[in-house]
Each structure stands twice: as structure tokens, then as C-alpha cells.
């Protein structure tokens, strides 16, 4: 097999090391170039060569990435950063002119998948279960939506339509033990009340669009998918058994046919491409409902790799036009994540214990 050069963006992301690891376990010569805007990116210690780049919002971002990709003779680019996705999608042909493939969906489906409100509307139209939801544009609409969804008797959650990780996500509830949270919980709790956030939202100079949603109390799942321009190849759901800072620290791959069916329908109707992530949560009646989409590699996709379905490498093969062997998934594989350190000597060389 030919040697391949892969460029990975956002190597400072929490899931980047495991994504890099998914490529390192392949019995093939693979050179990995990493880019990030943070000089302390942990992924820099794990790639063959790295570059500091400007953020995706910078007007020269694509130009800079293209220059690096040409210099390093890159075959495939794997974007990890949500804010970069549309830029890569809209400029995909620019890279293809240089024979560089980008693992990315086309703009139309990507815009829907990357916006939680548009995703909910699309799924509703396709008869895929969704939580009750309302898009609000000012505080009065926000307050009305919260009470329409049953607050304070029922918990209600909200988040921006476009966000990364758990940024902006909160659960409104009346049953909060503030003393317990203050003294016994780590300061990353998402629980709050309408009374606490009202002054913040009322005082906003420009009220942000917010998606107010029914709170789903059941089991949460992430779904890792490999799709070839709307043709679903494989779907690997996993339970999110323990979370820290919105990241799965304990999870198990589960062959849930209901979630697999809904996931296939979403990626096929949106004609998505490459590695796609979806998230579902069960309601009081145990019905799994879609809550968001990550139209990119998810940080914990390494659990699929451990379950004999290396979807990261599969996306690379799709870009190269290579045949993908059928996956024999080891369902029930469990992951427990832990912290690991990287050290640097005074010359800047990385090492581990």
C-alpha cells in the first residue's frame, strides 16, 4: 500500500490524541501533520510534524492550510474543529485542484447538521423523534418557551443552535441544592434556575438565538458513523455512561437497532460524508430522541476503533477511493478514559514516563 500523508487540524482538542492513535495502529506508512492555534497543543507531541496556525475566523485560514498541505504533500485533511467545517466544505475544490482530499460534507447538508435548530426541523420532517423545542430571539420569548415546556414542574434545557462541546448548555431546574453544589461539586455543573440566569439574559446587549428544549432524563448515546456522500457504511452507537466536561470518560458500544435506524436516515437524507457524530437521549418513555449532530470526527470515536471499526481510517480510505473491508464490530466493548501527561525538556523535546 502507498504511503499517505494526513493533516489533522485542532490537535489541541481533548479527543485529538485518540484520533491520532486510530491512525497509528494501522499497518501502513502514515505521516501525520498536525496544526493548531495553541503552541501547547498536546497533539503536537504525537504527530510527525506540526504547525501553528491562525484561528478559523481569520480570512487567511484556508490559504495558510493550503500552503502547509502543498508543502507537506498532504493526501487527506481531517478537520476536527467545528468552526472550520464550513470553510473547508466551501473551499473543497480549491484543495482538490492540488490533489488534496478533505474529509468533509457538502455545504447544504453540513449547514443543517451543524445547526441544532435546523437539525431538529429536518428530523421532525423525516419522522425522526426529537424533543420538544423552540427557537427564541429575546428574553420574553425565552421565558415564555421555558414555561410552555413545563417549567418549573419539569426541567428544561437550552443551548445556542451552533456551539461546540457543551458550551452554552444549561439545565433549568427548581430542585437545586445550592449548598451541596457549592461545597461538594466541581465547578462545571450545568444546573441552574430561571431566577439565576434571568439577570444575565435580560442584561445582554444583543440577545443570542437560543434553542429551548424539553429535558430528556434517560440514557445518553453518541453515535459514530462512516458515510460515503449519503451512502451509510457503518453506524456504531455507544452509551455515554460517565461524562466530565461534556467528554465521555466511560462508555460502551451498543447494538441499538432503533438508534442505528434513525442515524442512517439522518446521514442519508442530509447526504453527509466522512466521519459523522450524532447524539441521542431517551425520554421518560424510553424513546431515543436526537439532540445534536457533530458532522466531523468525534473525540471518543476511538471506542469504535477498539470495537474493530476504525472509522477514522475508513474516512481516509474513502477520500483515496480505496475499498473498505466490512467491519466486524465487537459490540459491548467498554472504554474507561483517564488523564495522561506529556512532558517537555528545556530544548522543547517531548517525552512520557
Report the CATH number at residue 275: 3.30.470.20
For 162, the 3-state DSSP assignment is: coil
Whether 241 and 113 map to the same domain: the answer is yes
pLDDT along the chain (353 residues), means of 10: 94 93 96 97 96 96 98 98 96 98 98 96 97 96 96 93 78 77 66 86 90 96 98 98 86 98 98 98 97 94 97 98 96 94 92 89
Whether 50 and 96 map to the same domain: the answer is yes
pLDDT at 244: 81
Q: Is residue 125 part of a domain?
A: no
Whether 192 and 255 map to the same domain: the answer is no
The Cα 205–Cα 131 span in angstroms is: 30
Whether 261 and 113 map to the same domain: the answer is yes
Q: Residue 139 is placed in which grid cell?
A: 428574553
The Cα 52–Cα 67 span in angstroms is: 13
Q: Render pLDDT for 119-150 as a digit per residue (tens, 0 to 9).
A: 999 999 999 999 999 999 999 999 999 999 99
The Cα 228–Cα 28 span in angstroms is: 22
Q: Is residue 326 part of a domain?
A: yes
Whether 155 and 261 map to the same domain: the answer is no
Q: How many domains does the chain fold into?
A: 3
Whether 224 and 328 map to the same domain: the answer is yes
Whether 73 and 150 map to the same domain: the answer is no
Whether 113 and 237 map to the same domain: the answer is yes
313, 315, 318, 322 alpha-carbon torsion, rounded to 10°: 0
142 phi, psi to nearest 5 deg: -60, -50
For 243, the 3-state DSSP assignment is: strand
**The pTM is what?**
0.92
The Cα 186–Cα 181 span in angstroms is: 8
The Cα 220–Cα 278 span in angstroms is: 11
Q: Residue 289 is placed in which grid cell?
A: 430522541
Nearest-CA neighbor of 171 among 206, 146, 138? 146
Q: Is residue 293 part of a domain?
A: yes
Whether 223 and 315 map to the same domain: the answer is yes
Q: Is residue 348 part of a domain?
A: no
Whether 86 and 24 map to the same domain: the answer is yes
pLDDT at 340: 86
pLDDT at 243: 86
Report the CATH number at residue 98: 3.40.50.20
Whether 196 and 226 map to the same domain: the answer is no
Q: Is residue 318 part of a domain?
A: yes
pLDDT at 2: 85
The Cα 141–Cα 155 span in angstroms is: 17
Domain range for 164 is 132-214
Whether 177 and 273 map to the same domain: the answer is no
Amino acid at each position: 500500500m502507498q504511503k499517505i500523508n494526513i493533516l489533522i487540524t485542532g490537535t489541541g482538542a481533548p479527543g485529538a490524541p485518540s484520533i491520532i492513535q486510530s491512525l497509528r495502529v494501522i499497518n501502513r506508512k502514515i505521516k501525520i501533520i498536525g496544526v493548531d492555534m495553541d503552541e501547547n497543543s498536546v497533539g503536537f507531541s504525537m504527530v510527525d510534524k506540526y504547525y501553528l496556525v491562525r484561528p478559523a475566523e481569520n480570512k487567511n485560514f484556508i490559504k495558510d492550510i493550503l500552503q502547509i498541505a502543498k508543502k507537506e504533500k498532504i493526501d487527506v485533511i481531517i478537520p476536527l474543529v467545528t468552526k472550520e467545517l464550513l470553510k473547508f466544505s466551501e473551499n473543497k475544490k480549491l484543495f482538490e485542484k492540488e490533489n488534496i482530499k478533505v474529509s468533509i460534507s457538502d455545504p447544504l447538508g453540513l449547514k443543517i447538521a451543524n445547526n441544532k435548530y435546523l437539525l431538529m426541523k429536518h428530523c421532525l420532517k423525516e419522522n425522526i423523534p426529537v424533543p420538544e423545542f423552540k427557537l427564541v430571539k429575546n428574553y420574553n420569548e425565552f421565558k415564555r418557551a421555558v414555561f410552555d415546556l413545563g417549567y418549573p414542574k419539569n426541567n428544561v434545557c437550552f443551548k445556542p443552535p451552533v456551539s461546540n462541546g457543551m458550551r452554552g448548555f444549561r439545565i433549568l431546574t427548581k430542585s437545586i441544592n445550592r449548598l451541596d453544589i457549592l461545597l461538594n461539586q466541581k465547578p462545571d455543573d450545568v444546573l441552574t434556575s430561571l431566577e439565576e440566569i434571568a439577570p444575565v439574559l435580560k442584561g445582554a446587549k444583543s440577545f443570542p438565538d437560543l434553542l429551548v428544549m424539553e429535558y430528556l432524563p434517560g440514557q445518553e448515546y453518541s453515535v459514530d458513523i462512516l458515510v460515503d456522500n449519503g451512502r451509510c457504511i457503518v453506524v456504531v452507537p455507544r452509551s455515554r455512561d460517565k461524562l466530565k466536561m461534556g467528554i465521555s470518560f466511560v462508555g460502551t458500544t451498543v447494538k441499538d437497532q432503533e438508534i442505528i435506524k434513525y442515524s442512517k436516515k439522518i446521514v442519508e437524507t442530509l447526504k453527509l460524508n466522512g466521519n459523522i457524530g450524532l447524539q441521542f437521549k431517551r425520554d421518560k418513555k424510553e424513546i431515543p430522541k436526537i439532540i445534536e449532530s457533530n458532522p466531523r470526527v468525534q473525540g471518543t470515536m476511538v471506542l469504535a476503533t477498539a470495537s474493530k471499526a476504525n472509522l477514522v481510517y475508513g474516512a481516509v480510505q474513502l477520500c483515496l477511493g480505496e475499498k473498505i473491508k466490512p467491519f466486524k464490530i465487537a459490540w459491548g466493548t467498554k472504554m474507561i478514559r483517564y488523564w495522561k501527561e506529556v512532558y517537555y525538556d528545556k530544548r522543547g523535546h517531548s517525552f512520557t514516563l
